[in-house]
Amino acid sequence: MLVEPSVQHRVKSTALGVVIGLPSIASYCLSKGVNAEFRIVSNQVDCAIGKKDEVYKEIKKERPDVVGISSITSSYYEAVSIAKFAKKEGATVILGGLYPTFNYDSVLQNKEIDAVVVGEGEDTFFQFLYALEKGNSPLLLDGIAFKTAQKVTKNPERALLDLNNLPLPAYNLAPLPKYYSLNAPLVYETSRGCPFRCGFCTVSELFPKCREKSIDQVIKEIEYINQNYKFKSIRINDDTFTLNQSRTMKLCDRLVKANLDFEFIVDTRVDHLNEKMLDIMFAAGVREILFGIEHIETRILESMNKRINIDGSSYEDHVNKTIKDASEIGFVIQPLFMIGWPGETAKTLRLLEKTIVSLAEENENVHPYLSFITPHPGSKLERDAEKLGLKIVNNDLSKYTHLYPVAVPNSLGPHALELMIETYNDVARRTKTEKWNPPIEIKDGMPVYQ
């Protein structure tokens, strides 16, 4: 049984979609001939339909031999709770995903967790199951971390896979009717990894090398999805959909010719596309774009290592023009902004608020998404927090959703938390985006959602 734990606190609206990692692991293992049946359970979608304890009932009913749990920071507590229950029911328990990869040492202090898959999961999980099937120890495999009575051991990391050798994720093993009932998107990837090294991002630490599927394979798989599933939209999970602009143009041209009945949601950067690309993306079915803008203050962007690549105009002017062009074409736009980076001041917060509100007021279908700086445990940002002048004020991992302030920059002074929350609430109210940015108030010195 492969399990997606739930996030206790709110997540952004695009986060609820058919998971891709677990179906990809199941599909890969089955393609390699593993003698096993797979079941995928999403505690996240169960919570969305009001069935929070369903995963425990499923484990009790199915009694799986092995339970694999994929965890991010904010779902880690729930992952441990599920792991303890699964171990009590006699399962071998493995954790993987972003949080366990960067924090395998502390994760393995839980005696209920037998091993951690470090990094990319498909081949490591297959090798783990194969070793169990053959009666061999899976703890000697590359890509595995484990604990003995003496110490925690992390084996060498496993080489990254060629995405063209991966079968289509086994979406059919996920609880599809539940996703259909919520009109949630299917999540699909045409690439993995990111060549940028933005200071706030953990994905580039996990997959520093960018790998692409061939356009032929992407079209073949999306056509299969179109013929065999009932989804109306696909969330493309690529970190920067337009990173390879020539490839993006060719892919969109093929999607136009395929004439598929899908709406696509993509992530990208304003410095990696132009109006011609926007036109063909819209023709191909892309209807929603999440732009990682982060900030408009040059000093802060440089500190983030955002590596903006624009000729002939300022970043702010380029942001304004790109969003204006996208809005006029007809896209729904979610520009993503970050509050609280080290170096932030009351002045930069006011400037950021003015820019965000202006974008929403002057363009149709612009719904800004606000993200509080979040130094995930084990990440470079957390390791460098003191050096950067960043103070972590909350260690409750369930709140590490980017929608809750868990760290403040020293540069904002003694009232940093209040200033960040005030800016966040003002932007949400003035742009009418409380749906994406739920209001926060302070009670007894602690932030709480209204």
CATH code, domain carrying 95 = 3.40.50.280
Task: For residue range 214-232, list pLDDT tens digits in order.
Answer: 999 999 999 999 999 999 9
Based on the domain organization, do 216 and 126 belong to the same domain? no
Average pLDDT, the chain: 92
Q: Is residue 173 part of a domain?
A: no
Q: Is residue 166 part of a domain?
A: no
Residues 121-138 have a mean pLDDT of 95
pLDDT-wise least confident of 13-27, 100-114, 128-142, 252-266:
13-27
Q: 């891709």: which residue's tokens?
A: 20
Domain of residue 322, residue span = 183-449
Q: Is residue 67 part of a domain?
A: yes
161 alpha carbon, distance to own chain's centre? 20
Report the alpha-carbon distance of residue 227 to residue 261 in Å, rounded: 10
Q: Is residue 385 part of a domain?
A: yes
Based on the domain organization, do 20 and 142 belong to the same domain? yes
Based on the domain organization, do 384 and 238 belong to the same domain? yes
Based on the domain organization, do 316 and 381 belong to the same domain? yes
b/e string for 367-379 if b means 16 or more Cβ within 10 A? Answer: bbbbbbbbbbbbb
Report the alpha-carbon distance of residue 369 to residue 25 in Å, rounded: 31
Please give the full DSSP string across 269-311, using - where no structure is assigned.
-GGG--HHHHHHHHHTTEEEEEEEEE-S-HHHHHHTT-----S
Query: What integer pLDDT is reported at residue 433 of this predicted model?
Result: 94
Task: For residue range 185-198, list pLDDT tens digits in order.
Answer: 999 999 998 888 88
pLDDT-wise least confident of 2-11, 145-154, 210-219, 249-258:
2-11
Based on the domain organization, do 86 and 200 belong to the same domain? no
Q: Is residue 161 part of a domain?
A: no
Q: Is residue 93 part of a domain?
A: yes
Query: What integer pLDDT is reported at residue 320 of this predicted model?
Result: 94
Task: For residue range 302-326, list pLDDT tens digits in order.
Answer: 999 888 888 777 899 999 999 999 9
Helices of type H across 64-196: 76-88, 98-102, 104-107, 122-133, 176-181
Residues 134-139 have a mean pLDDT of 92
Based on the domain organization, do 71 and 196 belong to the same domain? no
Using the predicted structure, report yes or no on whether residue 270 has a pLDDT greater than 90: yes
Based on the domain organization, do 114 and 195 belong to the same domain? no
Of 135, 154, 173, the residue at which a domain comes to its end is 154
Using the predicted structure, report yes or no on whether residue 445 has a pLDDT greater than 80: no
Quickly state the pLDDT bin for 339 (edges 50, 70, 90). Answer: very high
Query: What integer pLDDT is reported at residue 13 of this predicted model?
Result: 42
CATH of the domain at 320: 3.80.30.20
Quickly state the pLDDT bin for 12 (edges 50, 70, 90). Answer: very low
Domains of the chain: total: 2
Q: Is residue 163 part of a domain?
A: no
Using the predicted structure, report yes or no on whether residue 151 has a pLDDT greater than 60: yes
Query: What integer pLDDT is reported at residue 202 of this predicted model?
Result: 83
Of 109, 137, 154, the residue at which a domain comes to its end is 154
Based on the domain organization, do 132 and 208 belong to the same domain? no
Based on the domain organization, do 242 and 332 belong to the same domain? yes
Using the predicted structure, report yes or no on whether residue 14 has a pLDDT greater than 80: no
Based on the domain organization, do 149 and 187 belong to the same domain? no
Query: What integer pLDDT is reported at residue 168 of this predicted model?
Result: 97
Based on the domain organization, do 208 and 143 belong to the same domain? no
Based on the domain organization, do 74 and 141 belong to the same domain? yes
